[in-house]
């Protein structure tokens, strides 16, 4: 596949970070095996038991201090640096490994662990430490108004207009490390134009894999560098 001068859109999911030591959601021993999604990743859960939800994301945020980008994150960043056309990286991941790998044009559609949002003003702030109901908003100085800047089930993912534009213009769409079970991301492969070449790089056959022209089964750290070094 010739990648030169092509408008490329990449979508990443939890699978790209698993070899860095972060758990995926739905693999055996994944995050959703130990938790009910409804208890930790919905607006209702946060209303009912905010401390449990804060704690779930505090644990995830703390873990970021122990992990590093892997060969797949690094290969994407290197490819973007040398690419001579548009490159957009849409990620469902809330970790910061694409940033640490120095990717540039990153869209975090499900939010970021290292950001919090004020429920009163909608302002988003960088946040690297634990968060709880005593945490004080940097602008209003009030406590109890900050929540993780994470898109929960039942909420609209962020930056959807920008994502729609990027997908419509893509010549090549590459989904990496995602199970194809969570919409709208699972449907991006159907939002690209008819001329777009669609590739999936995933460890196991993803739910939506018949929609791709090419399916590469394997570990992201091996297959992503191979795919992006071929041009
Ligand atoms: N290399 C490539 N793919 C891998 C690897 C690896 N090393 N390890 C796991 N995978 C694949 C799995 O085969 C699986 O299909 O990554 C996929 C991970 O799927 P999920 O756990 O469902 O993660 P994801 O698709 O990112 O989930 C989407 O669901 O719970 C929500 O908001 C959360 O952003 C998340 C969304």
Looking at ligand 1, which residue's alpha carbon is closest to its atom 5? Answer: 15
Given the residues 110, 149, 194, 213, select the one marked as catalytic: 110
pLDDT at position 166: 98
Nearest atom (ligand 1) to Cα of 93: 34
Nearest atom (ligand 1) to Cα of 24: 21
Rounded to whole angstroms, the Cα distance separating 137 from 207 reads: 41
pLDDT at position 69: 98
What's the pTM?
0.97
pLDDT at position 37: 85
Nearest atom (ligand 1) to Cα of 185: 28
Contact 148, 135 (CB under 8 A): no
pLDDT at position 231: 55
Catalytic, 98? Answer no
pLDDT at position 24: 93
Where the chain has pLDDT below 50, the residues are none
pLDDT per residue over 150-187, tens digit each? 999 999 999 999 999 999 999 999 999 999 999 999 99
- Residues of the chain with pLDDT > 90: what percent? 92
Instruction: Classify strands 87-91 and 106-108 as parallel, antiparallel or unpaired.
Output: parallel
Backbone angles phi and psi of 106, in degrees to 5: -110, 135
Nearest atom (ligand 1) to Cα of 151: 32
Residue in 109, 112, 202, 227 to alter for ligand 1 test, most ligand atoms within 8 A of Cβ? 202
Looking at ligand 1, which residue's alpha carbon is closest to its atom 34? Answer: 92
DSSP run (H or E) holding 8: strand 8-12
pLDDT at position 169: 97
Looking at ligand 1, which residue's alpha carbon is closest to its atom 4? Answer: 15
In this structure, the residues whose C-beta lies within 6 A of any atom of ligand 1 are: 13-15, 18-19, 24-27, 30, 92, 110, 177-179, 181-182, 202-204, 206, 219-220
Q: How far is the CA of 26 from the centre of ligand 1 (A)?
A: 7
Q: How far is the CA of 23 from the centre of ligand 1 (A)?
A: 9
pLDDT per residue over 25-50, tens digit each? 988 888 887 888 888 899 999 999 99
Alpha helices (H) along the chain: 15-18, 31-34, 37-40, 43-48, 50-63, 71-82, 97-100, 160-169, 220-228
Rounded to whole angstroms, the Cα distance separating 13 from 24 reads: 8
């Amino acid at each position: 596949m010739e990648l030169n001068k092509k408008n490329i859109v990449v979508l990443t999911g939890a699978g790209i970070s698993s070899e860095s030591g972060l758990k995926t959601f739905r693999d055996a021993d994944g995050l959703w095996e130990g938790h009910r999604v409804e208890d930790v990743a919905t607006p209702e859960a946060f209303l009912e038991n905010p401390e449990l939800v804060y704690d779930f994301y505090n644990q995830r945020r703390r873990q970021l201090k122990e992990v590093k980008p892997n060969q797949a994150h690094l290969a994407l960043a290197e490819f973007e640096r040398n690419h001579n056309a548009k490159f957009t990286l849409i990620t469902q991941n809330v970790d910061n490994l694409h940033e640490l790998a120095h990717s540039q044009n990153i869209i975090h559609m499900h939010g970021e662990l290292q950001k919090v949002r004020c429920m009163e003003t909608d302002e988003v702030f960088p946040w690297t430490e634990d968060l709880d109901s005593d945490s004080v908003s940097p602008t209003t100085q009030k406590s109890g108004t900050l929540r993780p800047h994470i898109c929960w089930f039942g909420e609209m993912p962020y930056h959807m207009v920008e994502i729609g534009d990027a997908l419509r213009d893509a010549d090549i769409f590459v989904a990496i490390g995602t199970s194809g079970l969570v919409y709208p991301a699972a449907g991006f492969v159907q939002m690209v134009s008819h001329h777009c070449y669609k590739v999936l790089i995933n460890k196991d056959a993803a739910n939506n894999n018949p929609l791709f022209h090419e399916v590469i089964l394997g570990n992201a750290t091996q297959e992503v560098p191979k795919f992006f070094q071929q041009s």
